[in-house]
Amino acid sequence: MIDSQSMEADTGAPEDERLLVADARKHPEAFVALYNRYARSVFRYLYSRTGAHPEAEDLTAQTFLEALEALPRYRDQGCFAAWLFAIARRKAADHFRRRPSLPLDEAGGLAACEDLPGEVARTDEIDRLKAAIRVLSEEEQEWIRLHFTAGLTFREMSVLIGKSEDATKKAVYRLLAKLQRRLE
């Protein structure tokens, strides 16, 4: 099931982020600290969108290259992650203009497990969750990708999608309740 504790995960203190951005603006080689902080999350998000490792790697590289080039124009409003994921979302959208989208439920695979009965039960649970996710709107699926796959906080998501933090949090919790009802 969905881990409610992961809903409160944070990518770091905003002040620390501001310092990293300011340093990268002064010294482009310092951008590596921002890359190290967000590369994994951006990759996971793009992989959840494409379902292909090479394509996700390429889109991740494109995302960070664009971010580095656009960094002088970044308006520091305390949410670099939201700005970075806006770039990643545009890269994914550009990618899908050329190729069809992969449904969210096909983006991940199951790891091998020695406990066959447990694996069968888990596979059934995952299949039910995939079916419940599949009927969600594209916007709702995107919220799942951003929060659970990319690990964005509610604050970062709110900046990215243009809603208040409380409205974003409420929407995600309602979405989880909706999924829970469908799974029961």
pLDDT confidence of residue 33: 94
The rounded distance, in Å, linking the Cα atoms of 35 and 68 is: 9
Residues in the chain, pLDDT under 70: 1-14, 78, 99-122
pLDDT confidence of residue 50: 87
Do 176 and 5 contact (CB within 8 A), yes or no? no
User: Which CATH class, in words, describes the domain spanning 7-101+112-183?
Assistant: mainly alpha
- Span 40-67, pLDDT tens digits: 999 999 998 888 899 999 999 999 999 9
DSSP string of 48-60?
Answer: HHH--HHHHHHHH
Q: Where are the domains of the chain?
A: 7-101+112-183
pLDDT confidence of residue 14: 67
pLDDT confidence of residue 184: 82
pLDDT confidence of residue 37: 94
pTM attached to this predicted model: 0.67
The rounded distance, in Å, linking the Cα atoms of 163 and 133 is: 22
pLDDT confidence of residue 63: 95
Do 44 and 149 contact (CB within 8 A), yes or no? yes
